[in-house]
């Protein structure tokens, strides 16, 4: 049971977490904190949070669980603001898509990596953002990755695990480096491709006409290009090394495909498409959605 | 009204066209032709076609409308097989995703480009294939592009237009070159990116684990990588020049993004993501689905 949960950043993820925990009845009070009063008022009107605090320091006072759900670029300033006010027994966790950068933000913001800070990342989301897009079932049957460090208190890890399990998520643990590599491959690289494709087409002369002939495949392929630009800007720069490695690998593979098309290399193309279809069909079966 | 419609290649597109025309009651008899008897029997059992013919020549005899819905690589041999048997008043059309290549196939198969052959392409589909995936509503509110040549009979164009309009589609006309360029941008390039991404990840050491942490965004982004490999092999080689131009443009733009990430070019990334999101949101509004 969480007595007072403080969520800093009540958007799609923070709002959905609040809804899910309320639905699971594992939370007595939810304090919402953010920079935009209008958005917090909306969250309160929607019943997502009980109380509004604009100051992060005031928001964490008396909280036994603090979830920082702000873009990666805002982590450090939030940590700095809450550091003097967060209780010694409170557990702190985040939901950032790149974990190594959060360690740096914590060391600078808190002056150290607190034992009570558990790095976490729910593998769930949609291309929409804001509390109005949040819903209680967002994390059901999805994975949440925790990347505790050696100095992280096990009791804190268990409390964060319990919280996420109450939302219906499956909690796993792995190293920070492994998390950042996997996310660069399955999430950060695809977002770069979708953003680039849409922009490449938009900058072609006849772009309005081009988009008017796009079909359902294009709509699905580019859905993630509607994601929040600031959030993705922060992710790019926060997971820079892992993302660069994946970009280089992909650019090399796409260059090979380009050569195969140029050389009419029928066997290469057919083998590549067959192998990819098999892998994708296998994934779709596992994902069951 | 079509008296006898012959569909050569009763898969997702051919099967959906048959279902839609039957539902619209604009077709007296539908003859299905293909290489796999089992698949044709299934189409007959599903009520999609009335009669089965394995030989394309026999299939087109007495037909007033012939739709060739086979992969691009099979067009020429189908044209060659039907050339001696198709009626002088019959209209012939195809559904291929690249039009310049169909002209070549027609010139070789028929020995000339027949005035009664109307090149067409419905901008609709799913990642599934086969008659079992077909449904009558596939073309509703979707675009069908016709690319008639100077020698194409206007009366033939009008009959093909009427047929597609009966499925609920919106029919437009454009040049072969324009069609091939637009499709390379909105369909062929995205398929290359999805196939390459899935294959890049599948060839990484820990691929089973990597896919297990992929979320809904990845599922949508890679859906088109489950498309039929043979069909896409044929499209690549049939629309080679336009696809190469798009691949080169994309590789150049992705290289610029890579440099921006490498150089921590915050302004470049934010501007790119904002521009792309705006274009994608605008497209999604137009697409309304």
Query: Which residue ranges make up each domain of chain A?
Result: 2-174, 178-287
Q: What average pLDDT does the structure give for chain A?
A: 95
Please give the pLDDT value at position A288. 64
Of B212, B215, B270, the CB nearest to A286: B212
Say whether pLDDT at A214 is over 60: yes
Measure the CA–CA gap between A234 and B153, rounded to whole angstroms.
57
Contacts of A208 (CB under 8 A, 6+ apart): none
Torsion of CA B166, B169, B175, B179, to 10 degrees: -140
Q: In which residue ranges of chain B is pLDDT below 70?
A: 207, 288-289
Burial A183-210 (b: 16+ CB within 10 A, else e): bbbbbbbbbbbbbbbbbbbbeeeebeeb
d(CA A91, CA B88): 81
Distance (Å, whole) CA A34 – CA A131: 11
**Is the pLDDT reported for residue A44 higher than 70?**
yes
Give how far Cα A210 sits from Cα of A152, B183, B287, Å: 52, 8, 12
Q: What's this model's pTM, rounded to 2 decimal places?
A: 0.91
CB atoms within 10 A of CB B259: 12
Domain at A178-287, CATH homologous superfamily: 6-phosphogluconate dehydrogenase C-terminal like domain (1.10.3660.10)
Whether the CB-CB separation of A97 and A232 falls below 8 Å is answered with no
A266 chain-B contacts, CB cut-off 8 A? 233, 237
Angle (CA) A242 A277 A123, round 5°: 40
CA of B67 vs chain A CAs: smallest distance (Å): 21
The answer to whether B110 and B79 have CB atoms below 8 angstroms apart is yes
What are φ and ψ of residue A32, in 5° steps? -105, 135
Note the pLDDT of residue A41: 98
Say which of A212, A279, A282 has its CB closest to residue B286: A212
Residue B250 with chain A: CB contacts under 8 Å:
196-197, 200, 254
pLDDT single digits (tens) A227-256: 999 999 999 999 999 999 999 999 999 999
A86 vs chain B: nearest CA distance in angstroms?
32
How far lies A220's CA from each of A52, B110, B140, B217, in Å? 37, 39, 18, 9
Q: Please, are residues A260 and A268 in contact by the beta-carbon 8 Å criterion?
A: yes
d(CA B39, CA B131): 7
Report the pLDDT averaged over residues A11-34: 98
Q: What fold characterizes domain B2-174?
A: Rossmann fold (3.40.50)
Residue B27: CB atoms within 10 A of its CB come to 21
pLDDT at B289: 47
All residues of chain B having their beta carbon less than 8 Å from the beta carbon of residue A190 are 197, 217-218, 221-222
Q: Closest by alpha carbon to A189, among A235, A258, A146?
A: A235
Closest chain A residue by Cα to residue B288: A219
Nearest in space to A118 (alpha carbons), one of A162, A149, A142, A75: A149
Instruction: Name the residue facing B194 among A221, A237, A258 (closest C-beta).
Output: A221
Q: Look at residue A289 and tell me whether its pLDDT is greater than 50.
A: no
Taking an 8 Å cut-off on Cβ atoms, the answer to whether A202 and B123 are in contact is no
**Interchain CB distance below 8 Å, A215 and B274:** no
**Substitution target from A97, A124, A205, A217 for chain B, most B beta carbons within 10 A:** A217
Quick one: pLDDT at residue B288? 63
Long-range contacts of A29-38 (CB under 8 A, 24+ apart): A29/A3, A29/A4, A29/A5, A30/A4, A30/A5, A30/A6, A31/A4, A31/A5, A31/A6, A31/A7, A31/A59, A31/A63, A32/A6, A32/A7, A32/A59, A33/A6, A33/A7, A33/A8, A33/A9, A33/A59, A33/A60, A34/A8, A34/A9, A34/A10
Complete DSSP assignment for B51-68 = EEESSHHHHHTT-SEEEE
Pairwise CB contact (< 8 Å): B186 & A215:
yes
To test the contact with chain B by mutation, choose from A73, A120, A215 the residue with the greatest count of B C-beta atoms within 10 A, namely A215
Alpha-helical regions (H) of chain B:
12-23, 37-45, 56-60, 75-82, 100-110, 154-165, 176-183, 189-202, 207-212, 216-222, 229-238, 240-262, 266-287
State how far residue B252 is from chain A, nearest Cα, in angstroms: 10
DSSP string, A156-178: HHHHHHHHHHTTT-EEEE--HHH
For residues A176 and A152, the answer to whether their CB atoms sit within 8 Å is: no
**Over 90: is that where the pLDDT of A126 sits?**
no
Q: Give the integer Cα–Cα distance in Å for B183 and B120.
A: 13
Rounded-to-10 torsion of CA B54, B58, B64, B68:
40
Task: Tell me the C-alpha distance between A197 and B158, whole Å.
Answer: 36
Say yes or no for a CB contact (<8 Å) between B236 and A269: yes
């Amino acid at each position: 049971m969480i007595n007072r949960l403080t969520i800093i950043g009540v958007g799609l993820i923070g709002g959905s977490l609040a809804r899910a925990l309320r639905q699971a009845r594992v939370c007595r009070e939810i304090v919402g904190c953010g920079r935009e009063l209008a958005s917090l008022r909306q969250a309160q009107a929607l019943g997502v949070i009980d109380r509004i605090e604009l100051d992060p320091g005031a928001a964490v006072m008396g909280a036994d669980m603090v979830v920082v759900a702000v873009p990666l670029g805002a982590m450090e300033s939030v940590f700095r603001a809450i550091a003097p006010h967060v209780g010694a027994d409170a557990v702190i966790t985040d939901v950032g898509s790149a974990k190594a950068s959060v360690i740096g933000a914590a060391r600078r913001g808190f002056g150290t990596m607190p034992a009570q800070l558990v790095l976490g990342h729910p593998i769930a989301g949609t291309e929409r953002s804001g509390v109005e897009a949040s819903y209680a079932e967002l994390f059901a049957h999805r994975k949440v990755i925790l990347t505790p460090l050696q100095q992280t208190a096990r009791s804190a890890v268990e409390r964060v695990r319990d919280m996420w399990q109450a939302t219906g998520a499956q909690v796993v643990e792995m190293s920070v480096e492994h998390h950042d590599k996997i996310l660069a491959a399955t999430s950060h690289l695809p977002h770069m491709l979708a953003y680039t494709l849409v922009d490449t087409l938009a900058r072609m002369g006849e772009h309005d006409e081009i988009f008017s002939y796009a079909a359902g495949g294009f709509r699905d392929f580019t859905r993630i290009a509607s994601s929040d630009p600031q959030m993705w800007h922060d992710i790019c720069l926060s997971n820079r090394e892992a993302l660069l490695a994946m970009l280089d690998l992909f650019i090399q593979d796409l260059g090979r495909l380009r050569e195969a098309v140029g050389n009419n290399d029928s066997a290469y193309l057919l083998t590549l498409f067959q192998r990819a279809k098999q892998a994708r069909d296998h994934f779709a079966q596992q994902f069951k959605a």
